[in-house]
């Protein structure tokens, strides 16, 4: 298939490479030429604008930072809509607000362009191993056309509901993972400050009701002091900002999410934004007077 991909960063690059390895012809555009270098040895054509990508491809994936970036790529003067033929499918795999996804889909529809919001969970490791969890919003018939491509990038692919529903599911994911990371960091810091071996505490907790994938995987990374980003703290800050904005719009109380959002704000403000979210432990150590 002729597939477009825009957004070749930490996540998008390995996702696009999975599609190339599956035998598909890629059509790429990137703001930075360096982002295109990993694609020199695969079947890929680089274009001068998103509009040119849309003209060459039947399905275009986007994986960018936030809603304004998606809108620029899809709806800008040289965006996808400017070069698209009727029947093009645009699949946004970024994490943006549900209302933004609905707005973008509605603006593409008059041009005969189908739209799916399909945010992912699993981080860079999941993208590299084609093991992402993909949560999709949009028409069922369009989802079925794209499903074989989703399955090249992820191990769990679920149609949640109409346009925007994928982003609601991703917001729920970010609530659980953000609060979970903060809870594990608090527990391990508490153990250490109490003079107890945090590794032994984690080992004990893994055998009881406190078990979680975050305690197992991220807890071990905290113990190993492995803060290399698979999912940067500023990204989780942005995602929880979306959660809190949606909570405000809906009139919902999300107290745990609100507290965790403040912690990620503090991480970014203290210079930890480009480290993995597990660096929450370093922030708590600083707050309790320990050397990080």
Instruction: Note the CATH architecture for domain 2-162.
Output: 3-Layer(aba) Sandwich (3.40)
State residue 162's pLDDT score.
98
State residue 291's pLDDT score.
60
**Rounded mean pLDDT of 113-135?**
96
State residue 91's pLDDT score.
98
* Domain residue extents for the chain: 2-162, 168-287
pLDDT over 60 (residue 292) = no
pLDDT band at 289 (very low <50, low <70, confident <90, very high): confident
pLDDT over 90 (residue 68) = yes
Q: Is 114 buried (19+), middle (13-18) or exposed (0-12) by CB count in 10 A?
A: buried
Tokens of 16: 């696009």
Q: Is 150 buried (19+), middle (13-18) or exposed (0-12) by CB count in 10 A?
A: buried
Mean pLDDT of the chain: 96
- Tens-place pLDDT, residues 221-254: 999 999 999 889 999 999 999 999 999 999 999 9
Whether 2-162 and 168-287 share one fold: the answer is no
pLDDT band at 84 (very low <50, low <70, confident <90, very high): very high
Contact of 107 with 84, CB cutoff 8 Å: no
- Tens-place pLDDT, residues 259-282: 999 999 999 999 999 999 999 999
CA pair distance 229, 53, nearest whole angstrom: 30
The fold of 168-287 is 1.10.1040
pLDDT over 70 (residue 73) = yes
Tokens of 176: 């659980």
State residue 288's pLDDT score.
87
- pTM reported for the whole predicted model: 0.93
pLDDT band at 92 (very low <50, low <70, confident <90, very high): very high
Catalytic residues: 170
């Amino acid at each position: 298939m002729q597939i477009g991909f825009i957004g070749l960063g930490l996540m998008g690059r390995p996702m696009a490479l999975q599609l190339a390895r599956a035998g598909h012809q890629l059509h790429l555009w990137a703001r930075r030429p360096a982002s295109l270098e990993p694609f020199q040895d695969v079947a890929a054509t680089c274009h001068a604008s998103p509009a040119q990508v849309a003209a060459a491809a039947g399905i275009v994936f986007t994986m960018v930072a936030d809603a304004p970036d998606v809108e620029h790529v899809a709806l800008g003067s040289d965006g996808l809509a400017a070069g698209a033929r009727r029947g093009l499918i645009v699949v946004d795999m970024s994490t943006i607000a549900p209302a933004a996804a609905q707005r973008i889909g509605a603006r593409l529809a008059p041009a005969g362009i189908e739209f799916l919001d399909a945010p992912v969970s699993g981080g860079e490791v999941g993208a590299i191993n084609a093991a992402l969890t993909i949560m999709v919003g949009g028409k069922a018939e369009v989802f079925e056309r794209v499903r074989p491509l989703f399955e090249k990038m992820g191990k769990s692919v679920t149609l949640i509901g109409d346009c925007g529903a994928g982003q609601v599911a991703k917001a729920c994911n970010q609530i659980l993972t953000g609060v979970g990371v903060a809870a594990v960091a608090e527990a391990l810091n508490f153990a250490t400050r109490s003079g107890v071996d945090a590794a032994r505490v984690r080992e004990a907790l893994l055998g009881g009701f406190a078990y979680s994938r975050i305690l197992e995987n991220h807890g071990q990374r905290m113990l190993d002091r492995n803060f290399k980003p698979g999912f940067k703290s500023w990204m989780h800050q942005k995602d929880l900002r979306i959660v809190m904005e949606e909570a405000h719009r809906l009139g919902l109380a999300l107290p745990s999410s609100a507290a965790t959002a403040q912690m990620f704000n503090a991480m970014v403000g203290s210079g930890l934004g480009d480290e993995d979210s597990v660096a929450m432990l370093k922030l708590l150590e600083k707050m309790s007077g320990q050397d990080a």
